[in-house]
């Protein structure tokens, strides 16, 4: 049950970014959940969560530490299956089917629903090989095709100009921000319909953070993006829609400007005004 706020809720700390405000949402739902519950053993960490993610939209998941944001994000491409003792119930609908079933091919699914993690995690390979590794395993052949994919993906991740002359160097010769963009390029190389970002900028400086945010906005047109972030300014700058989680409940979801400027739930208002973090 949500506590509804009455009267003025002057949430002035966060200025809504024009980029997010200008992005026109489309109505095509790419991925949606119905009544998702997640358990770690006996800990019921996420309660009955239903959300839809639209093509062309960035959705930010916000809320205090331990409220279930990453748990929910990980359930969207069945990453929670990698965690021993974790159980996910409910429907996760992608491409016309419920993917939360044992027969789902995780290898194929994660091509379509990619994920970028908090810490950049390139492979111990060259920049070039980082991009083509998975596409080759999925059958892509021919130097011309591979070269074209490398260039397209690195351009998509705004990294091409910085690395085009050193594609055969180790990915670890890059800075942290460049490594994160390489990980995004690696994800883009699979042409995913959805990209999940789990606090992708928390290890980065402000300039690299801005580069990642611009990058998300440039690649969202073709897909849906979901981002977990602790940075309220980031959520307001990049997202079209924001969902607020609290103690395992998805408490409120709406257009980002409504969430930040006219929150309905008292817990959301308290969170935004810094009464707890």
Ligand X SMILES: Nc1ncnc2c1ncn2[C@@H]1O[C@H](COP(=O)(O)OP(=O)(O)OP(=O)(O)O)[C@@H](O)[C@H]1O
Site for ligand X, rule CB under 6 A = 40, 43, 45, 63, 65-71, 83
In the complex, the smallest distance separating the C-beta of residue 117 from ligand X, rounded to whole angstroms, is 12
CB of 119 or CB of 169, closer to ligand X: 119
CB of 9 or CB of 202, closer to ligand X: 202
In the complex, the smallest distance separating the C-beta of residue 129 from ligand X, rounded to whole angstroms, is 30
Spell out the residues 6+ positions from residue 242 whose beta carbon is closer than 8 angstroms to its own.
59, 60, 61, 62, 235, 236, 253, 254, 255, 256, 259, 260
In the complex, the smallest distance separating the C-beta of residue 116 from ligand X, rounded to whole angstroms, is 15
**What is the Rg, in whole angstroms, of the alpha carbon atoms belonging to the chain?**
19
d(CA 147, CA 160): 12
Can you tell me which residue has the tokens 């829609």?
Answer: 241
In the complex, the smallest distance separating the C-beta of residue 120 from ligand X, rounded to whole angstroms, is 17
CB of 66 or CB of 274, closer to ligand X: 66
d(CA 150, CA 128): 7
CB of 100 or CB of 178, closer to ligand X: 100
CA 217 to chain centre: 12
């Amino acid at each position: 049950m949500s506590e509804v706020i009455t009267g003025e809720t002057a949430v002035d700390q966060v200025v809504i970014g024009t980029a997010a405000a200008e992005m026109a949402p489309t109505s095509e739902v790419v991925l949606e959940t119905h009544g998702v519950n997640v358990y770690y053993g006996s800990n019921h960490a996420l309660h009955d969560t239903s959300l839809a993610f639209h093509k062309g939209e960035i959705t930010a998941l916000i809320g205090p530490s331990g409220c279930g944001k990453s748990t929910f994000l990980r359930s969207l491409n069945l990453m929670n299956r990698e965690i021993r003792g974790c159980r996910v119930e409910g429907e996760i609908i992608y491409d016309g089917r419920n993917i939360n079933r044992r027969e789902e091919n995780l290898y194929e699914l994660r091509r379509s629903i990619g994920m970028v993690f908090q810490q950049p995690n390139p492979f111990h390979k060259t920049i070039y090989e980082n991009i083509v590794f998975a596409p080759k395993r999925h059958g892509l052949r021919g130097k011309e095709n591979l070269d074209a994919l490398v260039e397209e993906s690195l351009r998509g991740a705004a990294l091409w100009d910085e690395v085009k002359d050193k594609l055969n160097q180790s990915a670890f010769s890059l800075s942290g921000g460049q490594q994160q963009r390489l990980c995004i390029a690696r994800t883009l190389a699979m042409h995913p319909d959805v990209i999940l970002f789990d606090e992708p900028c928390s290890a980065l400086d402000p300039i690299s953070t801005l580069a990642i945010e611009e990058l998300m906005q440039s690649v969202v047109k073709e897909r849906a993006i979901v981002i977990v972030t602790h940075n309220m300014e980031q959520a307001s700058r990049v997202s079209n829609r924001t969902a607020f989680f609290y103690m395992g409940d998805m408490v409120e979801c709406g257009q980002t400007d409504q969430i930040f400027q006219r929150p309905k739930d008292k817990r959301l208002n308290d969170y935004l005004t810094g009464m707890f973090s």
